[in-house]
Amino acid sequence: MSHKATIPIGPYHPLQEEPEFYKLVVEGEKVVDVDVRIGYNHRGIEKISESKSFDQSIFIVERICGICSSSHPIACVQAIEDIGDIVVPERALHIRSIIQELERLHSHMLWVGLAGHFLGYNTVFMWGWKYRELICDIMETVTGNRQNYAMHKVGGVRRDIEKEHVPYILTRLDEFLHHLDMIKGSVLDDPVLHVRLKGVGVLTMEDAIGYSALGPTARASGVNIDVRRDHPYAAYDRVKWNVITQKEGDVFAKAVVRILEMYESVSIIRQCLDKMPAGPIDSNPKDIPPGEGIGNAEAPRGEVFHYVRSDGTNSPVRHKVRAPTYMNFPTFRQTVVGETVSDATIILAAIDPCYCCTERMLIVDSEDKEILSAQDLIRLSQEKTLKLKEKMRVK
């Protein structure tokens, strides 16, 4: 005799800052089934992008996500550069790598803090986020913004890294590294954390490959993939670094991968600053010819993929975005089922889900029947536009 109950996590829940719905079917504390509903925050980024010019569409994709505000633009500009075979100056490539790695540093640090918070370890939460400020300071110095850096453009980057900023960046990185050592020690050597995280939410290598998991989620399961090495972009093939993998596939392995990746990022930034050649930062391309191009980049959460098709006009006719979290969501069925509710939250958080990167829409009622299809939604939206137009007396 089993008694099943439904535990909702979301759409509004202290676990997450953004709306997402995980339906956990539980027997007592044990999770027997999980259902993930995404698409509570549909913004139609792809459609908007198709109505903008190429330069503006980079501005739009930068706003897909506040955390990956370098990965999306970098993938997008690479897709556009792919269409026109545009050559990017060497200095700009190095700057792109630096910005991308700074983003990874702050994103991974943010995750360490959040993971602590989800475990009720608020000290790690506060400390992690305090150390992340150092990286945000560097970002502000180099790009002018803590988030949404607006650094990447087709053909190069918008701003140069000034010579007098380099010592500042290096001292801040040293400071960060010092704190990172401490966080590494306190997280990786804490016996209570070991008990809490080891062997929890295991994603086997076969499942990681089968579900096409990406980024640290896959690397923690022993899948040796990294876009930065496999399809080198920016300046990643000019510097020496390692792809971090772990075999275990549990939450602890995912934490280890992220923490060790931060060391690699610091090393990449240092090498790039060292090797950065002088020269222009922008090749100022004028026209985008007809054609199609793809661009991919290793975002902190995995591979982000952009496809852009151009018909020779000023704006893309098709712009497709695939964010890494979209590929990592389905792994929950393997990792969460069979664990307890206490562990479910940290397992859900372990892939570092980025909800705003993952936009689709579906409205369902309590019986899980689709009550509005995509066509209905388009019809509804058109009707509303008509009504508004009548109201405002415009044609």
Partner 1 sequence: MTYMAKALEYAFLYLIFPGFLFSSAMGLLIGWIDRKVTARIQWRVGPPWYQNFIDVLKLLLYKETLVPEGVSKTFFLGMPAVAMASATLVSTIILVINAIPQKGFIGDLIVLVYLLAMPSIALMLGAFASQNPLASLGASREMKLMLSYELPFILSLVVPIMKSGYSIRLGDILIKQANNGSLIGSPSGAISFFVMLLCIQAKLGFVPFDISEAETEIMAGAYIEYSGKALGIFKLAKAIMTFAVPIFLITLYFGGIKFSPVGFIKTILQFILILVLMIVIKNTNPRVRIDQALKFFWGPVALLAVLSVALAYLGY
Task: Looking at residues 250 to 309 of the shown chain, list those that interact with partner 1 (rule: CB under 8 A).
Answer: none
DSSP tag of 39 = -
Q: Is 2 in the site for partner 1 (CB under 8 A)?
A: no
Q: Which is nearer to partner 1, 7 or 362 (CB)?
A: 7
> CA 81 to CA 340: how far, in whole Å?
48
Does residue number 185 form part of the binding site for partner 1 (CB under 8 A)?
Answer: no
Measured in residues, the chain has a length of: 395
Q: For residue 346, what are its two tokens?
A: 């940290």
* Contact between 72 and 306 (Cβ < 8 Å): yes
- Interacting stretch for partner 1, rule CB under 8 A, among 115-123, 166-174, 255-263, 374-382? 115-123
Residue 196 sits in the site that holds partner 1 (CB under 8 A):
yes
Cβ–Cβ under 8 Å, residues 92 and 281: yes
Which DSSP symbol is given to 356?
G
Stretch that binds partner 1, among 185-193, 287-295, 358-366, 375-383 (CB under 8 A): 185-193
Report d(CA 88, CA 388) in Å as an integer.
Answer: 45
User: Which stretch in 110-118, 174-182, 227-235, 250-258 sits in contact with partner 1 by CB under 8 A?
Assistant: 110-118
Q: Which two tokens stand for residue 87?
A: 């050559």
Total site size for partner 1, rule CB under 8 A: 33
Decide if 129 contacts 113 (C-beta within 8 A): yes
Contacts by 310-315, CB closer than 8 A, 24 or more apart: 310/54, 310/80, 310/83, 312/287, 312/288, 314/53, 314/54, 314/288, 315/50, 315/51, 315/52, 315/53, 315/54, 315/56, 315/57
**Of 126 and 380, CB closest to partner 1:** 126
Query: In the complex, what is the shortest distance from the CB of residue 359 to partner 1, in angstroms, rounded to a whole number?
Result: 24
Q: How far is the CB of 28 from partner 1 (least distance, A)?
A: 7
* Given 51, 171, 342, 382, the residue binding partner 1 (CB under 8 A): 342
Decide if residue 165 touches partner 1 (CB under 8 A): no
**Alpha-carbon distances of 106 from 99, 132, 262, rounded to whole Å:** 11, 5, 9
* Residue list 9-28, contact with partner 1 (CB under 8 A): 13-15, 26, 28
Stretch that binds partner 1, among 114-122, 289-297, 326-334, 372-380 (CB under 8 A): 114-122
Binding to partner 1 (CB under 8 A) within 65-94 occurs at: none
Residue among 168, 162, 103 at smallest CA distance from 132: 103
Only segment of 156-164, 202-210, 306-314, 341-349 that touches partner 1 (CB under 8 A): 341-349
Torsion region of 120: left, alpha or beta (phi above 0 gives left; psi -120 to 50 gives alpha):
left
Between 36 and 170, CB nearer to partner 1:
36
Among 42, 55, 123, 274, binds partner 1 (CB under 8 A): 123
Least Å from the CB of residue 221 to partner 1: 23
Is 58 a binder of partner 1 (CB under 8 A)? no
Q: Does 236 bind partner 1 (CB under 8 A)?
A: no
The CA-to-CA distance between both ends of the chain, in Å, stands at 64
Contact 58, 70 (CB under 8 A): no
Under the binding rule (CB under 8 A), the answer on residue 344 touching partner 1 is yes
Residue 102: name the closest of 290, 341, 300, 274 by CA: 300
Told to check if 193 binds partner 1 by CB under 8 A, we report yes
Least distance to partner 1, CB of residue 4, Å:
10
Asked if 336 is part of the footprint of partner 1 (rule: CB under 8 A), the reply reads no
Which of 36/372 has CB closer to partner 1?
36
DSSP-derived letter for residue 19 is -
Shortest Å distance, C-beta 14 to partner 1: 5
Distance CA 187, CA 252 (A): 10
Return the number of the residue (68 or 253) whose C-beta is nearest partner 1: 253
Beta strands 363-364 and 30-37 are: unpaired
Binding site for partner 1 (CB under 8 A): 5-7, 13-15, 26, 28-29, 116-127, 130, 190, 192-193, 195-196, 340-345
